[in-house]
Amino acid sequence: MNISKRHHYIPEFFIKGFTNEYGKLFYFNKEKNKLETNPRSPSQVLFEWNRNSVEINGNVTDDVEKLFQLAESKFSISYHKIVSGKKITELDLRHLILFILEIHWRVPSQDNNNFIHIQNIDHSKSFFKIRHRKTGKLVPDDVFKEIIQEPIFTKSNTIIRAIEDYLKNEKKVNMENWTMSESSKEGANFNILSDNPVLFRDGIKENILENEMIFPFTKELMVHHTNGKKLTFIPPDKIIGIHVLSFIRAKRFVCSSNLEYLDFIAQMSKLYSDDNKLDILEKSVFSIYE
C-alpha cells in the first residue's frame, strides 16, 4: 500500500485557482529572498514532505493526511459553486468558514501556536473529550495529557481546533457580513497566495468570526468578513496593499500566476520594513471596510 509523502498545507485543488493559463504559477522564497522564475505546478508548491505522516505501532501511516483530504472533499461542492458564481446558501457559507478556519490553523506559521495550545488544553473545558469506554467518565488528566501528546493527535488537532472555534461562534454567522470582491481590471488583477493566507485586522486572531478578515479565494476573487461593516469598491492601490500585506505576513512562500507582478509585490514589501510602517499599511488595507 502506497503512503503519500507530499503533504500540502494549502490544498492542491485550491492552489489550482491561482494558476495561469498553463496551469502553472511562480513563487518567491522569503527565506532565500529569491524569486523562482521557473513556473511550478500546484503539486510542487505549498507542501512539506511527510508533514502529516505518523508512526503507529512501528508502521508509518498517512491517516492524518487522509483526514485532511476528507475535510477538503466536504468543501469541494461549495467551492465550485462559489467559483462558478452560483448563488450560495447559508450551508455553503458555513462550509467556507470551516475551510478558512482549518487553513488558518493548518499552515506552518501556526505550528508553534498549536504546540502551545496543546500544552495548555484543559480537559474539563475542551471541546475534545476522552472518556472511559465502559463508565463514560472522563479519563484522568494524566492519561489525557499523555494521549494529546501523541503525534496522531498533535498533527490532526488543527481540524479539532477549527471545529471548536466554529462551534463557539456559529450563532454569529451572518451572511450579510460575508462578501466577495474581484480584483480591479484597472489595477492589479493577479491575486497572490501565501503560506499564511488569512489576513486579520491587528494580526493573528483566535477566530475569524470575531474580526475583519480578507482571504484570497482564486486569482480573481477575495473573500471578506466585514464584521458588521460595509465593503464598497476596492481601488487598485488597496488591492496592491492587500497583496503586500499578504507577502509580509507569509512565513516562507508566496505564489502568483504572474511573475512580474509577484516581483513587484516583493519589491513593494521592502518599503514596510519597520513596525510603524507596517501598522500604517494594515490600517490602510482595512479601511476598505466602512
181 part of a folded domain: yes
Residues of the chain with pLDDT under 70: 1, 184-189, 203-207
Quick one: pLDDT at residue 201?
A: 85
Whether residue 257 is contained in a domain is answered as yes
Is residue 277 one of the residues assigned to a domain?
Answer: yes
What does the pLDDT look like over 206-223, one tens digit per residue? Answer: 667 788 999 999 999 999
In sequence order, the 6+-apart residues with CB closer than 8 A to the CB of 25 are 15, 18, 19, 39, 40, 42, 45, 193, 255, 256, 257
Strands (DSSP E) along the chain, which ranges?
Answer: 6-8, 25-29, 34-40, 47-49, 54-56, 59-61, 178-182, 192-194, 199-200, 213-216, 221-225, 253-256
Asked if the structure places residue 1 within a domain, the reply is no
Q: What is the pLDDT of residue 128?
A: 84
The whole domain housing 269 covers 6-288
Which amino acid belongs to residue 283? K
Residue-level pLDDT at 279: 92
Which residues are bridge partners to 131 per DSSP?
A: 138
Integer Cα distance of 198 and 193 in angstroms? 10
CA 265 to chain centre: 20
Domains identified in the chain, total number: 1
pLDDT at residue 51, rounded to an integer: 96
173 located within any domain = yes
**Whether the Cβ atoms of residue 106 and residue 160 lie closer than 8 Å to each other:** no
